[in-house]
Amino acid sequence: MKNVTEYKNYIAGEWVRSRSGQTFENRNPADTDDIVGIFQKSTPGDVDDAIAAAKEAYKKWRLVPAPKRAEIIFRIAARLAKEKERFSRDMTREMGKILKETRGDVQEAIDMSFYMAGEGRRQFGQTTPSELPDKFMMSIRQPIGICGMITPWNFPMAIPSWKIMPALVCGNTVVIKPATDTPLSVYNFIKVMEEEGLAGGVVNIVTGSGKDVGEPLMRHKDIGVISFTGSTEVGRKVSEACASDFRHCHLEMGGKNCILVMDDANVELAVEGAIWGAFGTTGQRCTASSRLIVHKKVIKEFTEKLVERAKSLKVGNGLDESVEMGPAVNESQMQTVLKYMDIGKNKDGAKLLCGGGRLTGPGYDKGYFTMPTIFGEVTPNMTIFREEIFGSVTSITECNSFEEAIEIGNNTVYGLSSSIYTQDVNKAFAAMRDLCTGIFYVNAPTIGTEVHLPFGGTKETGNGHREAGTAALDVFSEWKTIYVDFSGKIQKTQIDS
């Protein structure tokens, strides 16, 4: 094979091959002739090595003052900014999403890194007066130890940054297993960390399958916290693996997010929002707008305009700047999406308004391209309304009133993101209160969070934790509450006072 780079694992500050001696290929989903790189097919033994390295490094890293840790993180952020274009191109090649979006993904990692660099001088605790004289009390954050991270392919650098940066600034060390579809973006990220002076063993990357790398990582007793983003099915496994010995886990899983379009909405704006929310990242976001709940008074106009816009979307290789939507990330993801298109048409009996299949022909034959697809007359009992599709499919459900829209919006096991299009401030505030999701938007689609507020969801989307914002510090630190009695005598709380 010509000119294909072999990338190694990074363990204890060394770039090393897997003990297995085996590798796997990373191919471009828009052009499967394009091999992006060769990566290590790692084993449970490699995971053990990485965890041992992280354990050793933790002894020193936890004692580095947080503002000093933050200086390194700041330098990493600045370097990412310099490498943004190269890393974005690599990401489009391995993941498929269009360049504008991969630039956004790298930018999100830059933002998170600068933000967490700032946390080096914050990480505030509390002090409060004691009920006893000559006694001082406070709470401080302490690192947990070794953090295991299992990250998805849809935000190949942003989501790893949401986990790695808060973990590091809190004083933890890290072992990360990137998704097998997108190891290069995490490699690029870790390489910058190495070059900007992060000491050996503080971060470690082990590439490979869920079975050989993810499972041993989540089961290892030295891992203090696992942070996982991915399917609900795997999230349940992580939760069970950690439960018996009470190790922490942070889970960020599925979504079935809704946009409510009210009768007083700016319909043009709602259409633009729905197009971006549903087909941005080829619909492969946990926050994707997969349910459009539209008031009967505007449903005709909304549907016509939406279908017209969807039909005009340019689908293709994301490296072409004029393309608006890339391929599915891999063949099995494409098959899942095609399966749901088929269910919508044949089992659910929804009305196919546009799309509904695979794109073939010139420019499409070497990739996993699916059509932007919209189903109408979708009802809450249908599979396409209930299950997360994670692809270029969205659905329209009619509602008769604001109250009914809220009820339909909440009719899902997930609770990540929701939004409303309305000009009525009262409806906007009522929806803000009543939609059961972790994220909510007014007059914007369900995608587009910023790094300095919490990200995550209710119900089966998560397990009560949040990433991003200062909430991320809660995942990667533990409170220590400290009492200092300087009275020089025994004082008994709740008794002497």
CB of 420 to ligand UN1, least distance (A): 17
> Which one among 93, 256, 285, 295 touches ligand UN1, defined by CB under 6 A?
285
Pairwise CA distance, residues 361 & 366, whole Å: 9
In angstroms, the CA 455 to CA 467 distance is 5
Q: Which stretch binds ligand UN1 (CB under 6 A): 86-94, 280-288, 341-349, 400-408?
A: 280-288
Q: Compare residues 231 and 239 and give the one whose CB is closer to ligand UN1.
A: 231
Q: Amino acid identity of 488? A: G
Binding span for ligand UN1 by CB under 6 A among 260-268, 316-324, 420-428, 446-454: 446-454
Region from 117-125, 279-287, 389-397, 400-408 binding ligand UN1, contact rule CB under 6 A: 279-287
User: Please, is 289 exposed, middle or buried when counting C-beta atoms within 10 Å of its C-beta (0-12, 13-18, 19+)?
Assistant: buried
Calpha distance 205→15 (Å, rounded): 9
- Contacts by 376-381, CB closer than 8 A, 24 or more apart: 376/303, 376/350, 376/351, 377/350, 377/351, 378/291, 378/344, 378/348, 378/350, 380/408, 380/411
DSSP state of 462: B
9 touching ligand UN1, by CB under 6 A: no
**Residue range at the interface with ligand UN1 (CB under 6 A); choices 39-47, 219-227, 351-359, 445-453:** 445-453
Q: 3-class DSSP state for residue 157?
A: coil
Residue 230: C-alpha distances to residues 81, 87, 236, 258 (Å): 27, 22, 10, 20
Instruction: Single out the residue of 185, 144, 149 nearest to residue 47, CA to CA.
Output: 149
Compare residues 396 and 447 and give the one whose CB is closer to ligand UN1. 447
For ligand UN1, the closer of residues 28 and 154 by Cβ is 154
Burial 308-340 (b: 16+ CB within 10 A, else e): ebbeebebbbbbeeebbbbbbbbeebbebbbeb
**Location of structure tokens 């204890």:** 12
The distance of closest approach from Cβ of residue 255 to ligand UN1 in the complex, given in angstroms and rounded to an integer, is 7
Tokens of 488: 């020089």
Q: Answer yes or no whether residue 454 interacts with ligand UN1 by CB under 6 A.
A: no
Instruction: Please select the residue that binds ligand UN1; options are 154, 333, 373, 418, rule is CB under 6 A.
Output: 154
The single residue among 249, 447, 472, 475 that binds ligand UN1, judged by CB under 6 A, is: 447
Annotated catalytic residue, options 147, 170, 258, 286: 286
Stretch that binds ligand UN1, among 53-61, 193-201, 282-290, 486-494 (CB under 6 A): 282-290
Closest distance to ligand UN1 from the beta carbon of 14 (Å): 32
34 vs 28: CA distance, rounded Å: 6
| 449: contact with ligand UN1 by CB under 6 A | yes
Q: Is 330 in the site for ligand UN1 (CB under 6 A)?
A: no
Q: Single out the residue of 155, 302, 375, 414 in contact with ligand UN1 (rule: CB under 6 A).
A: 155
Q: Which is nearer to ligand UN1, 47 or 472 (CB)?
A: 472
**Stretch of residues binding ligand UN1 (CB under 6 A), selected from 60-68, 119-127, 186-194, 285-293:** 285-293
72 versus 251: smaller Cβ distance to ligand UN1: 251
HSE-CB for 453 with a 13 A CA cutoff: 7
Residue 84: count other Cβ atoms within 10 Å of its Cβ. Answer: 17
Q: Is there a contact between 105 and 142 (Cβ–Cβ < 8 Å)? A: no
Is 436 one of the annotated active-site residues of the chain?
A: no
Per DSSP, 287 falls in state T
Active-site choice (252, 324, 388, 467): 252
Per-residue exposure over 346-372, b if at least 16 CB sit within 10 Å of its own CB, e if not: eebebeebbbbebbeeebbebbbbbbb
- Binding residue for ligand UN1, selected from 18, 23, 151, 287, defined by CB under 6 A: 287
466 binds ligand UN1 (CB under 6 A): no
Q: Which is nearer to ligand UN1, 72 or 165 (CB)?
A: 165
Residue 301 designated active-site = no
Q: Does 286 bind ligand UN1 (CB under 6 A)?
A: yes
Give the active site residues: 252, 286
The residue ranges that bind ligand UN1 (CB under 6 A) are: 108, 154-155, 285-287, 447-449
